[in-house]
Structure 1
């Protein structure tokens, strides 16, 4: 199977649509529109043709969402869109445009890292069979494997920030208003922060697995401090849950012979595909129990 295109991408979209309360029968259309929006947000440069395509995707996605938002205002449910539609601050509710922008933000933030992290997790474990065997024997190691995946190959490679005022960094003046690209991928491989930073090691003592999904994380895959991603706990629960379900079902999992591994993207980065061969677990083979406390500290 192709873990990225056959499973990871549809999985990420389906989970997000569940949270938002959108109809999953429309997932392919929403995924296509979302893909254009994500390309616009995460691209450093776009041709005029690609820019027009991305803006067209945004317009079609907004046209799809507005009737849903208006319906949820009249008949709210327990989904996230309903909560956004009914939320007020000092008696002021968000406009349809505000809610649309937040929905699109959730779609991009929840789906882009999910399929990439899942695929990268399996790639690292397949490339390190001894660590794969350890995780299969001890599901409690899965959190450490995900945290090390995020450190070693963060799905978000850079974060842009705008300088508020002139500042000198390493002898270079960054003028006020300039955009600075903070390279998370490089920071997570800093030899001053991590021993043997280019080595994938789920037993790494300098990672601090227990806090890897909090604002105090040693790695920067979710940002840090006040700028830590609010979806970190959701991402942990999402990836832990599905990985804990898949690992016991894949016996002798390995790269498909002759397959060519390639990563794509600059802002967000991950495998274009991940072709895997495996022996499906049969009913006669024991299946490790899925932890019921995944996502909790």
Structure 2
């Protein structure tokens, strides 16, 4: 992987911290083709985005990774807030940053969104025509997850009601009301996991809360007030607007979120593709990126020309 340049760029009122990866020396000449890579919820640029940047820069693409507003090394208060609309704005502002780089052909910019950003990236591309191709890996719409849960056949309405009540209390705490603690998305240590914890969350825990990907700036926390922003967000409803630009959604046969990629592709118009990798779980797609990476190289190689 090429040595990245530390960069910053604005997104609304916030300065975002990014890493600008030039193509690896001796890699194919992509004539300025560049890809924004956006990270999952509660994640940072040094985790799964770096894994995909490694593959893509070796194939000659320029890549930009960054920490979302409120998270990682980027600005934004309150810390660890997950705001889908700010996240979408971050992607569009990352595109603007690339447009300003002399190494980048502004007509050859694509976006890759991972997990929650697999919802934000298509949403951004629906209306930002500067994005010439959009791909996702282990895509999740956080609004769908808030309403329905992580698994396809679950229902989250009663849990969501509790989360929305907590969101209101969290907002009231700004005026001296009851302090609502940050929400820990996963057990801090695998040994703390309850026996009844769903396998889909164990999958995530095996990535984020072990040496496999642990990073101190990935805090494993989010704010209760985020749920009232997420609850009626719908990432894929207007995926048809991406056409005639291409959409690729990558998932795994063992991914608990596979159904979300299926729904995302269903709501899009051609050219579109669902690419399913045998044997991979949701979290596997964060770091077992050889097959997904090869598919992305082919996809962006054909799309950003």
With normalisation by structure 1, the TM-score equals 0.27
* Greater share of helix: 1
